[in-house]
Structure 1
Amino acid sequence: MSLHTEYPFTLPKGYVDDDGTLHRKGVMRLACARDEIEPLRDPRVKENDAYANVIVLARVITELGTMSRLTPKVIEGLFASDYRYLQDFYRVINFGDPSVLEDLEPGSPFPEEAVTVD
């Protein structure tokens, strides 16, 4: 059995960059403790706790379309439905709730053991 650390996704609407290019397909990696701890030091999080989610997503999304480095600004520019989708997707791959996996990525090859928490 191997541990899956990266998971493909497709945004419902997609991110439109400054050049007008639509980015829908991406990859999210599993989060490590540092991904959730580091944002707590950010002054934007001290003003608004919810901003930690923006920073965490920017850290764990390894690619979105042709973009290989995402910033919090990119996450801020997502449509609300895509942002919500990514939050749900993050919870599924990191905390193992396979009951919502088919709703998020129908037909995707997610091995059951990759999302099961013991």
Structure 2
Amino acid sequence: MNRPRSIEFELPFGFEDEEGNIHRQGRLRIPTQKDLTVVLKIYGDVQNPAYLETLMLVRILESLGNIELDADNRQQIVESLPLPDIEYLNSIYQKLLSGHSAGPASAPTGSKRE
């Protein structure tokens, strides 16, 4: 059985770019030991577990809307997301760590921006 190497998601609120476009759909890949090693090598011993998870999200975010992600903008975009979006991505990250990837993930009902 082939397991997916990434998971699609839809953020509750999304990232608003400079033109006012909201980007909510994206993809996270399964984290690797190398991701953790690189984060710890660059940032040292991160004392705040929540910030470590945010840094890991920066590493494993493959796509968000039609934004061209690169090393220069990826961290700024993740750190600019509303906290409910970060919490939502962290829940997906935890599922990926535990080996659960039940297909596309949608935002919790009632949490979308109107």
When the two structures are superposed, what TM-score results if normalisation uses the length of structure 1? Answer: 0.73
Runs ≥4 residues deviating over 4 A: 44-49
Hey, what does 1:105 align to over in structure 2?
Answer: 106
Q: Kindly indicate which of the two structures has a greater share of residues assigned to helix.
A: 1
SS of equivalent residue, structure 2 residue 36: helix
Tell me: CA distance 1:105–1:46, structure 2 relative to 1, closer, same or farther (3 Å).
closer
1:61-80 to structure 2, matched below 5 A, reads: 61-69=61-69, 71-80=74-83
Q: Which gives a bigger RCO, structure 1 or 2 (Cα 8 Å, sep 6+)?
A: 2
Please give the alpha-carbon distance, in whole angstroms, between the structure 1 residues aligned to 2:15 and 2:58: 13
Hey, what does 1:85 align to over in structure 2?
Answer: 88
SS of equivalent residue, structure 2 residue 58: helix
Count of residues in Structure 1 that have an aligned counterpart in Structure 2: 103
1:45 CA displacement: 5.9
1:1-118 to structure 2, matched below 5 A, reads: 1-43=1-43, 46=46, 48=48, 50-69=50-69, 71-96=74-99, 105=106
When the two structures are superposed, what TM-score results if normalisation uses the length of structure 2? Answer: 0.75
Give ranges in structure 1 of 5+ residues lacking alignment. Answer: 107-118
Superposed CA RMSD: 2.5
Give ranges in structure 2 of 5+ residues lacking alignment. Answer: 108-114
Please give the alpha-carbon distance, in whole angstroms, between the structure 1 residues aligned to 2:22 and 2:92: 20
Please give the alpha-carbon distance, in whole angstroms, between the structure 2 residues aligned to 1:45 and 1:74: 23
- Aligned identity (percent) is 26
Cα pair 2:11 2:106 within 8 Å, conserved: no
